[in-house]
Structure 1
Amino acid sequence: MIETFEKVEDIEIRLLLEALYLRYHYDFRNYATGSIKRRLRQAREQLGFATISAMQERALHDETMLPRLLGYLTVQVSEMFRDPGYFRAIREVVVPHLRTYPSLKIWIAGCSGGEELYSLVILFREEGLEDRTIFYATDINQDALQIAEAGVYDVDRIQLFTENHRKSGGRSSLSDYYSAGYGRVSFDRTLRDRVVFSDHSLVTDAVFGEMNLISCRNVMIYFDKALQDRAVGLFRDSLARKGFLGIGAKESLRFSAHADDFSEFVRQEKIYQRIGK
């Protein structure tokens, strides 16, 4: 009986993902199966549907369901200067190379609520590179982009953000960049002066510029191998010669079809450099 239920549920999930693609052009069909199944089960339970098929029916006929579903299907968990060693490596090892360029383009792919974006903008400001840099912050979730553009976070997160910033080699106090009030902190609007916010899908969209650094961390872990290969190929084609790619601690290019197009630049922090081009 349990086996039959799971087979039916698998069919429902495939049909729902196909429906989302055909109706709204959001493509989750090649995301890792186990992760998608967990998230859709959670959505079904918390949104009060008896079956995934019932959830699909609502999604097809009620456009207001889309952002609610995307909230479950796209992972929005991050923090400022997450994995401080990664940001310290960018500061100490990557930035000296970036200093040699008169202008820079940085892409934060899957920017979620903006925590990594602000981390990089602050780092570049501290290193004197902000004024020559354009930052592109992209995500497929419009709600996440709105949060990122607002730059407002709960005050109880700031202690962790501050500690991460310190460990990353921060040259100032994080409090220099935000104001606090009513249980929230608002990051300085000037941090967004050189940021372009845009929706972009690593699954369906194409290259939109030539970047010097792409940071896409803890996104590809939710893709299957074919989709990981597509994303890495997109990053390769988006990088300038000798540009840099940073990925998540649990991610790797080792088994990618495009692995030979990159060299390990800071192995322990999963920072790679584009070869040739």
Structure 2
Amino acid sequence: MDAAMTEDIFPPHEELELDLLLEAIFRQYHYDFRGYSRGSLHRRLARAQQRHACASLSQLQHLLLRDPAVFADLMGFLTIQVSEMFRDPAYFRALREQVIPHLRTYPSLKVWIAGCANGEEFYSFAILFREEGLEDRTIFYCTDISPAALEKAEAGVYDLDRIQQFTENHRLAGGRTSLSDYYTAAYGAVMFDKSLRRRAVFAEHNLASDQVFAEAQLISSRNVLIYFDRDLQDRALGLFGDSLVRGGFLGLGAKETLRFSRYADGFADFDEGEKIYRRNLTDLRTLDHAA
């Protein structure tokens, strides 16, 4: 997960242009991408340069400072909104079989889906919790940096040609019902039942600059940290640790780990293979002081 160990090397003038562009975005639009993986940013912004016919990042900066519509488009390049329902089914099966029994012991539950993208992961959780009888005692906090992604997540509409993969993932994740029970199909798209959203709160949240806003028993943030540098990874993990109750659960992506984090001692491996961790009794503030 240590992005700094795998970064590409770019010419000094391109690094300077990137620094200036990210600072401009932060000061003009209040979105902080300065702690994101440099190599990933360079590759994504290169595609944005092609889109807007810019020969350099400096030209792209000139455009976005003068036209908010260019920045809105640029957000589509800077934020990765690729997911699918019940992605990595073994992860959801592990939640169903190993984590849910612990969550049943709480009279009420809060689940934070950090980086919810276009909502596929939220609907996976909503269906899982409904199937396990926990929906009515749960509030789902669905956050993302992208307003456009949150709008799509709240709409719950996906292309019909994706539903076959969603259905197979649901089955492999131990689904107790047919996925078709939860959506209607028409005109080449599916819309998930609005009742799945009745316990959900959709909100903008930036892991690079915002603070903890709720106490949660479960946080799922998958394939988000891989786009951060080491310092921003630590910041995000510190937020997750502060938000989780003692004994709460944290799920990360398949290529992510706590191993190199300053907060590693604040968690115990719960299911190492599926990257599910459990918050232990360590006071994370003492780990901050020790770093």
Q: TM-score over 0.5 for the alignment? A: yes
CA RMSD, aligned part only? 0.9
AA paired with 1:54? Q
Q: Which residue of the partner structure matches residue 146 of structure 1?
A: 151
Give SS of 2:118's match. Answer: coil
Greater alpha carbon shift after TM alignment, 106-115 vs 57-66: 57-66
CA apart distance, 1:52? 1.4
Q: Which residue of the partner structure matches residue 104 of structure 1?
A: 109
Report percent identity of matched pairs.
Answer: 63
Cα distance in 2 between the residues matched to 1:262 and 1:50: 46
CA deviation string 1:187-211 (max 9, x = no partner): 0000000000000000000010100
Cα distance in 2 between the residues matched to 1:38 and 1:133: 39
Are 1:145 and 1:197, in contact at CA under 8 Å, matched by a contact in 2? yes
Q: Which residue of the partner structure matches residue 13 of structure 2?
A: 8
Q: Which residue of the partner structure matches residue 223 of structure 1?
A: 228
Structure 1: which 5+ residue stretches go unaligned? none
User: With structure 2 as the length reference, what TM-score do the two structures score?
Assistant: 0.92
Cα distance in 2 between the residues matched to 1:47 and 1:186: 33
Are 1:67 and 1:141, in contact at CA under 8 Å, matched by a contact in 2? no
Cα distance in 2 between the residues matched to 1:119 and 1:66: 31
Paired residues in the alignment total 273
User: With structure 1 as the length reference, what TM-score do the two structures score?
Assistant: 0.97
Give SS of 1:55's match. Answer: helix
CA deviation string 1:175-226 (max 9, x = no partner): 0000001100000000000000000000000010100000000000000001
Q: Which residue of the partner structure matches residue 63 of structure 1?
A: 68
AA paired with 2:205? H
Q: Equivalences for 1:32-181 in 2 at 5 Å?
A: 32-181=37-186
Give SS of 2:68's match. Answer: coil
Cα distance in 2 between the residues matched to 1:159 and 1:274: 36
Q: Which residue of the partner structure matches residue 286 of structure 2?
A: none
CA apart distance, 1:54? 1.2
Q: Which residue of the partner structure matches residue 21 of structure 1?
A: 26
Q: Which residue of the partner structure matches residue 199 of structure 2?
A: 194
Structure 2: which 5+ residue stretches go unaligned? 1-9, 284-291
AA paired with 2:217? N
CA apart distance, 1:163? 0.4
Q: Which residue of the partner structure matches residue 216 of structure 2?
A: 211
Cα distance in 2 between the residues matched to 1:210 and 1:20: 30
CA deviation string 1:121-154 (max 9, x = no partner): 0000000000000000000100000000000000
Q: Which residue of the partner structure matches residue 246 of structure 2?
A: 241
AA paired with 2:21? L
AA paired with 2:244? L
Q: Which residue of the partner structure matches residue 6 of structure 2?
A: none
CA apart distance, 1:252? 0.3
Q: Which residue of the partner structure matches residue 259 of structure 2?
A: 254
